[in-house]
Amino acid sequence: MKKQWFTIALVLLSVASFGQKYGSTPEDSLTCLENTSLYKEFYKQKNYVDARGPWAKAVAVCPKSSKNLYIKGATMYKNFIAKEKDEAKKLLLVDTLMWIYDTRIVNYGQKGNVLGRKGVDLARFDKSKAKEAYDMLAESFELEGNKSKKAVITTYYQIAEKLVKKKELETTVLFELFPKLQAVIVHNIQSAKSEADKSKWLNVAAICEQIFSKYAGCPELLEIYTPKFEANPTDTNVLVQIIAFFSKSDCTSEELFLKASMSLDKIKPSAISKFGIGRSLLKKERFSEAIGYFKQAAELSETKVGKINSYKYIALTQFNLKKYASAKSYALKMIALDPNNADGYMIIGDAYMYGSRTVGENSCEQAGGYWAAPAKYAKAKALNPELASKANKKIASCKEQYPKKADCFFYNIVDGQTLHIGGWINEDVTVHTH
């Protein structure tokens, strides 16, 4: 008898549970199952217009029947929003999409995850509600932490920047938020289960770094990274970040930049650490030491870009030492690796202009660098139009230094003549005089 009553109790409990999930009455349950089946069939065919009616009925009658009701519902409404041309109708669809996310949270929880999706979509579809989207993403990030999705992190920081531009948030928000986001990004890069996933997280990092670097000056960088460095001066992730961000913001003269570079070099000597030390020493005008580190960086670099950058800084440092021939030599190394490297031609032009008087038998021939440099500047601006203004000013400076006609005539050198300038310049030039 006890066994019989136990069986009856189980049956009643099952019916009650079924009722709670698929509706409060047998009629509701039937309606739920019918509409669920119907909308699923249309959904499979991507016929979202016909799927909408039975889907809405299923949500109304049995909101706890399946999480897929909300996942698929969100997909449908995002499709409707993307296709809708009328702005007023589009905003009504966005409101429904937001309601879908809210109802999913009520029935299935996962607030952090769902709020993230909701915030990303609100930011995407209704630009006027940026602050609401920001607040949703902020709460999602706090709840999810290392489980935060890539889209949540990128949208969160992008929206923060937009609000800063609109004066709705202080710039300090970007400084305070960046290390928090970065910690989650680094965690996910390190724990990525595939190279593809790692690559996507690296892209998230690049987006956030690009925003951060536009606003962060040396004081903000020092405030963020000094305590991090002091807490753990051997944390390679922090060291690499210091080198990267201080370089971007031209804070390489800061003592923390040198300390971080030296620390990384002891732990893991690399092109990055050598280059960082070189940049710091260059800013401190310790030119000869800087060149040594830049040369090591070039040797250790595994990429063409890394080698070119190292050669560029060797050339610039040699230029500071007035070793114009050596500056040209390293600029040529840059061009050998990349024939379209405009910076290389600018450096050669500078070497010719400033080092012109070091070559030539007489005062007229010593103008050879002024005659040779404009062609290099012209090549540079042809390769990179952004250098046009700078190059044109330098070309004008060269022309101001052209010798007088009488001074050259004394050495049987005349205007328009082709002349070979020897030494380290070693160029055939056309003579120009005033």
Mean pLDDT of 105-130: 88
Instruction: Indicate the SS3 state at residue 418.
Output: strand
Q: Model-level pTM?
A: 0.60
Distance from C-alpha of 300 to C-alpha of 308, rounded to nearest angstrom: 12
Q: What is the pLDDT of residues 318-349, one digit of tens each?
A: 999 999 999 999 999 999 999 999 999 999 99
Q: What is the pLDDT of residues 150-193, one digit of tens each?
A: 899 999 999 999 999 988 988 878 887 887 888 888 888 888 88
pLDDT-derived band of residue 311, with 50, 70 and 90 as boundaries?
Answer: very high
Output the pLDDT for position 17: 44
Output the pLDDT for position 14: 41
φ/ψ bin of 84: left (φ > 0), alpha (ψ from -120 to 50), beta (otherwise): beta
Q: What is the pLDDT of residues 22-73, one digit of tens each?
A: 656 777 788 888 888 888 888 888 898 988 888 888 888 888 888 888 898 8
Phi, psi angle pair for 416, to nearest 5°: 90, -10
Mean pLDDT of 288-304: 95
Distance from C-alpha of 157 to C-alpha of 114, rounded to nearest angstrom: 18
pLDDT at 2 over 80: no
Cβ–Cβ < 8 Å for 345, 332: no
Q: What is the pLDDT of residues 72-84, one digit of tens each?
A: 888 888 988 888 8
Output the pLDDT for position 21: 65
Distance from C-alpha of 312 to C-alpha of 319, rounded to nearest angstrom: 11
Q: What is the pLDDT of residues 244-264, one digit of tens each?
A: 888 878 888 899 999 999 999
Q: Percent of the chain beyond pLDDT 70?
A: 94
| DSSP state letters, 186-231 | HHHHHT-SSHHHHHHHHHHHHHHHHHHHHH--HHHHHHHHHHHHHH
Distance from C-alpha of 107 to C-alpha of 96, rounded to nearest angstrom: 16
pLDDT at 215 over 60: yes
74 CB-side CA count, 13 A: 21
Output the pLDDT for position 287: 95
Signed CA dihedral, 226, 229, 230, 231: sign only: positive
Q: What is the pLDDT of residues 360-392, one digit of tens each?
A: 999 999 999 999 999 999 999 999 999 999 999
Output the pLDDT for position 22: 66
Three-state SS string across 34-101, please? HHHHHHHHHHHCCCHHHHHHHHHHHHHHCCCCCCHHHHHHHHHHHHHHHHCCCHHHHHHHHHHHHHHH
Q: Extract the runs of DSSP E, i.e. beta strands, from 311-426.
A: 418-421
